[in-house]
């Protein structure tokens, strides 16, 4: 700044300008000094926990219900209402799973129903024939009339003539079953208060049949452990919720006698190990 400019400005303004110049000069000096940030050590990858969980995380009871007049036994999971209403009965949610699943596939849903109803509703779900821990004289009969009658038989065996308002919920194949039961009024004198079907679209389901065989061929025939089966269900996007997979996958498997793993399974395990290593390398690069 020239001397003429300093003379024109008031002493106070000049003092401020001097202060400003010193501040700017100091900032420039600081900016000229080289700076660096020490590289942070790569975070150690924490492996997900794929250990199975138990039915009692979501339900109050797990029982094998025998159907009178037959040799069929169904694995049934229930949530009892925290308190009975003064008049009438607590509403009952009956949840029917889809093909290839189990009653525990509705575990998280059942827990949510209990939460949002403040424990005032009852919930019942079960492994339908040919699935999970249910055992029948003909596990291959998955016809609609047979599955609908199974639902009615189970409700009668568990609740007898105890009247209640019922909400039917079915996923995929189960949606067809609960719709059939509601349409034909097979649960009379029980009152069907509501009906909900999930992922039941006949058109898209029929179109998917052509690719179903190739899809089934990609599924492993056995696993080394429950943890590996749960991990596969998540990696293959068969199930998207890890908590649900840890609960619902174990009932779908049966233990095998100890023997060496077949070559195709061993090769698949090697491929999974390679994929895990590649994922770790990609995360380190990022």
Q: In percent, how much of the chain has pLDDT > 70?
A: 68
CA atoms within 13 A on the CB side of 207: 5
Residue 2: inside a domain: no
Residue 27: inside a domain: no
pLDDT band per the 50, 70, 90 thresholds, residue 74:
very high
Select the more confidently predicted residue: 259 or 50. Answer: 50
Lowest model confidence (mean pLDDT) among 9-13, 52-56, 199-203: 9-13
Answer whether residue 45 shows pLDDT above 80: no
Answer whether residue 263 shows pLDDT above 80: no
Answer whether residue 120 shows pLDDT above 70: yes
CA 133 to chain centre: 20
Residue 259: inside a domain: no
Answer whether residue 214 shows pLDDT above 80: no
Residue 246: inside a domain: no
Give the range of the structural domain holding residue 111, as residue numbers without chain letter: 55-202
Residue 61: inside a domain: yes
Lowest model confidence (mean pLDDT) among 72-81, 123-132, 191-200: 191-200
Answer whether residue 5 shows pLDDT above 80: no
pLDDT at 151: 98
Residue 198: inside a domain: yes
pLDDT at 216: 72
pLDDT at 161: 79
Answer whether residue 269 shows pLDDT above 70: no
Give CA–CA dist 251/133, Å, rounded. 7
Select the more confidently predicted residue: 233 or 271. Answer: 233
Residue of 133, 101, 156, 143 whose CA lies nearest to 255 = 133
Give CA–CA dist 182/91, Å, rounded. 16
What CATH number should be reported for the domain holding residue 165? 3.40.50.1820
Answer whether residue 24 shows pLDDT above 60: no
Residue 115: inside a domain: yes
Lowest model confidence (mean pLDDT) among 43-47, 66-70, 129-133: 43-47
User: Backbone dihedral region of 208: left (phi > 0), alpha (psi from -120 to 50 degrees) or beta?
Assistant: alpha
Per the structure, the count of domains in the chain is 1
Give CA–CA dist 8/186, Å, rounded. 102
Residue 195: inside a domain: yes
Residues present in the chain in total: 286
pLDDT at 219: 80
Q: Look over the chain and give the mean of its residue pLDDT values, rounded to a whole number.
A: 80
Give CA–CA dist 246/186, Å, rounded. 34
Taking the whole predicted model, whether its pTM rises above 0.85 is answered as no
Lowest model confidence (mean pLDDT) among 234-238, 259-263, 274-278: 259-263
Select the more confidently predicted residue: 256 or 104. Answer: 104
């Amino acid at each position: 700044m020239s001397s003429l400019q300093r003379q024109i400005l008031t002493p106070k303004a000049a003092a401020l300008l001097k202060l400003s110049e010193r501040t700017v000069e100091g900032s420039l000096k600081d900016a000229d000094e080289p700076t660096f940030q020490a590289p942070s050590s790569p975070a150690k990858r924490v492996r997900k926990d794929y250990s199975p969980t138990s039915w009692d995380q979501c339900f109050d009871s797990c029982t094998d219900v025998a159907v009178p007049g037959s040799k069929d036994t169904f694995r049934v999971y229930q949530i009892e209402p925290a308190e009975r209403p003064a008049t009438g009965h607590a509403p009952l949610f009956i949840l029917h799973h889809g093909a290839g699943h189990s009653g525990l596939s509705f575990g998280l849903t059942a827990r949510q129903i209990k939460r949002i109803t403040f424990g005032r509703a009852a919930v019942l779900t079960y492994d339908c024939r040919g699935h999970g821990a249910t055992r029948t004289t003909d596990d291959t009969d998955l016809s609609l009339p047979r599955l609908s009658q199974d639902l009615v038989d189970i409700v009668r065996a568990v609740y007898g003539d105890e009247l209640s308002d019922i909400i039917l919920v079915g996923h995929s194949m189960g949606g067809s079953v609960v719709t059939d039961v509601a349409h034909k009024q097979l649960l009379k004198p029980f009152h069907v208060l509501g009906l909900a079907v999930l992922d039941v679209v006949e058109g898209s389901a029929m179109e998917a049949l052509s690719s179903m065989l190739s899809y089934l061929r990609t599924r492993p025939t056995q696993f080394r452990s429950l943890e590996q089966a749960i991990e596969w269900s998540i990696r293959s996007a068969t199930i998207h919720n890890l908590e649900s997979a840890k609960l619902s996958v174990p009932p779908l498997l049966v233990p095998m006698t100890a023997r060496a793993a077949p070559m195709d399974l061993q090769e698949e395990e090697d491929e999974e190990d390679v994929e895990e290593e590649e994922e770790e390398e990609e995360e380190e690069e990022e």
